[in-house]
């Protein structure tokens, strides 16, 4: 029986083989090509999977990276945030400052040594690749040496004395349009993040501490962080150019928000992209801006003269902020700003000075040559010029000379999460005084050290 079944199966198999169409050589060649293509596709998918795994393990964003992104932001080059879920990052800054010659000590002691701390807590959520929401909490305590000095531009831009309370300093939403060629931002914003930015002098937690090197004193900013909006346009056909405009509630009272605002416009030019130069060695930004503070300002009048009834003057100004890489080790920056000299500043913002013009510039070098690539050494020099009208107005305890500033620091990156920065500042002609006047010294020296911890 079994033998008969085997014979029948053999006959059927031979019959099917005879009836099947012959295999052509081109079919074998096609199958081999398909197999080769499948092998290439498998290799590509394996590489992509490996890249995704690496991205997931290094997705954390530090406070420093967030602040750098805010400084350099252009559509398509925004914050590095996760596409799903909420990310929380935090950093703490502690500043210890002393001076042997304070010109405005609270207890009349010329020698002072004070401390201050602040924290930055960012809570952010990205909505795929078309939107971003961010909340910034910024508690702090102490002022460092600031309340001991009478100067046009003070010495601790990081101070944020909230008596250790936890305020919301920023909360906003950003929408991307047209393949990230346009970004719209609205909410409670920090105006200094959207005008007069600079790659080497715009972060008081990792760079210069003095206010003159953080932003231009010749800008009458709104009263603290306030309600506002921003639009930035960076067309793909012009990768070397971006345009930015802002609108803020100047007095920060959240009432009549479209009445008497602070507005600005800025253009950013990137030569490395225009001339196709290696951005890893020659990246740079050349920002030109204009602003208007539409609040009512009184005119300054000569001391002893009858006060003017004209109190509805507007303040305007313009400036530029440049940063330029010089190879992958050195960088240079420069700033200049001007505002109306004949009116009285009404902003209560501590970052605002009564001056007509200001300039600053400096150099930065990373520690590549001594095998400390995360270390930074830098210096900056600048001046604040009070207006002639301001001097003639006879404001007490002031002079008409230009106040000069010099600052140098060395940021030592001990660990990825911890940096220690010794800092030295020298101020001459403080508050425009170029001679001993009401007990003010001719020069002020401020020594300090900053610790920065990123979680």
- Domains of the chain: which residue ranges? 172-454
* Dihedral angle over CA of 449, 193, 336, 241, nearest 10: 130
- The segments of the chain whose pLDDT lies below 70 read 1-28, 30-31, 35, 38-40, 42, 44-84, 303-310, 393-399, 434-441
Cβ-based burial of 7 (10 A; exposed 0-12, middle 13-18, buried ≥19): exposed
Q: Per residue in 225-258, pLDDT tens?
A: 999 999 999 999 999 999 999 999 999 888 888 8
- Interatomic CA distance for residues 230 and 241, integer angstroms: 17
Q: What is the pLDDT of residue 109?
A: 74
Architecture category of domain 172-454 in CATH: Beta Barrel (2.40)
**Token pair 């610790």 in the structure block, residue:** 451
* Dihedral angle over CA of 407, 159, 137, 181, nearest 10: -30
Q: What is the pLDDT of residue 58?
A: 33
Q: What is the pLDDT of residue 2?
A: 45
Q: What is the pLDDT of residue 250?
A: 92
The predicted model scores a pTM of 0.80
Q: Which residues have CB under 8 Å from 376's CB, separation 6+?
A: 206, 207, 364, 365, 366, 367, 409, 410, 411
Q: What is the pLDDT of residue 59?
A: 41
């Amino acid at each position: 029986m079994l033998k008969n079944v085997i014979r029948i199966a053999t006959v059927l198999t031979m019959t099917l083989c005879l009836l099947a169409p012959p295999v052509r050589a081109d079919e074998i060649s096609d199958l081999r090509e398909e197999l080769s293509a499948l092998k290439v596709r498998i290799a590509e998918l394996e590489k992509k999977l490996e890249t995704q795994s690496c991205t997931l393990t290094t997705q954390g964003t530090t406070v420093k990276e967030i602040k750098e992104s805010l400084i350099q932001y252009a559509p398509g080059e925004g914050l590095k945030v996760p596409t799903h879920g909420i990310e929380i990052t935090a950093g703490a800054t502690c500043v210890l400052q002393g001076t042997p010659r304070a010109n405005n000590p609270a207890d009349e002691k010329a020698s002072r040594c004070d401390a201050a701390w602040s924290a930055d807590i960012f809570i952010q959520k990205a909505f795929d690749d078309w939107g971003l929401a961010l909340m910034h909490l910024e508690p702090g305590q102490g002022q460092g040496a600031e309340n001991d000095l009478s100067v046009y531009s003070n010495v601790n831009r990081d101070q944020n004395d909230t008596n250790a309370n936890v305020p919301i300093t920023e909360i906003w939403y950003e929408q991307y349009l047209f393949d990230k060629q346009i970004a719209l931002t609205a909410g409670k914003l920090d105006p200094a993040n959207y005008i007069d930015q600079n790659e080497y002098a715009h972060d008081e937690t990792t760079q210069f501490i003095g206010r003159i090197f953080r932003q231009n004193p010749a800008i009458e900013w709104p009263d603290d962080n306030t309600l506002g909006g921003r639009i930035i346009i960076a067309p793909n056909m012009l990768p070397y150019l971006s345009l930015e405009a802002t609108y803020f509630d100047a007095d920060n009272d959240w009432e009549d928000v479209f009445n008497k605002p602070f507005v600005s416009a800025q253009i950013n030019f990137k030569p490395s992209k225009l001339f196709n130069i290696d951005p890893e060695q020659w990246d740079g930004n050349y920002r030109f801006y204009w602003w208007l503070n539409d609040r009512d300002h009184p005119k300054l009048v000569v001391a002893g003269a009858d006060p003017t009834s004209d109190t509805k003057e507007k303040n305007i100004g313009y400036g530029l902020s440049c940063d330029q890489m010089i190879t992958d080790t050195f960088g240079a920056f420069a700033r200049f700003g001007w505002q109306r000299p004949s009116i009285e500043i009404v902003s209560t913002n501590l970052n605002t000075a009564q001056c007509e013009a200001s300039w600053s510039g400096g150099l930065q070098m990373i520690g590549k040559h001594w095998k400390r690539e995360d270390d930074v050494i830098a210096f900056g020099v600048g001046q604040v010029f009070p207006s002639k009208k301001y001097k003639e107005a006879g404001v007490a305890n002031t002079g008409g000379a230009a106040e000069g500033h010099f600052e140098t620091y060395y940021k030592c990156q001990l660990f990825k999460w911890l940096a220690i920065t010794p800092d030295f500042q020298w101020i001459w002609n403080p508050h425009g005084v170029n001679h001993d006047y009401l007990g003010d010294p001719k020069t002020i020296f401020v020594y300090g050290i900053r610790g920065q911890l990123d979680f």
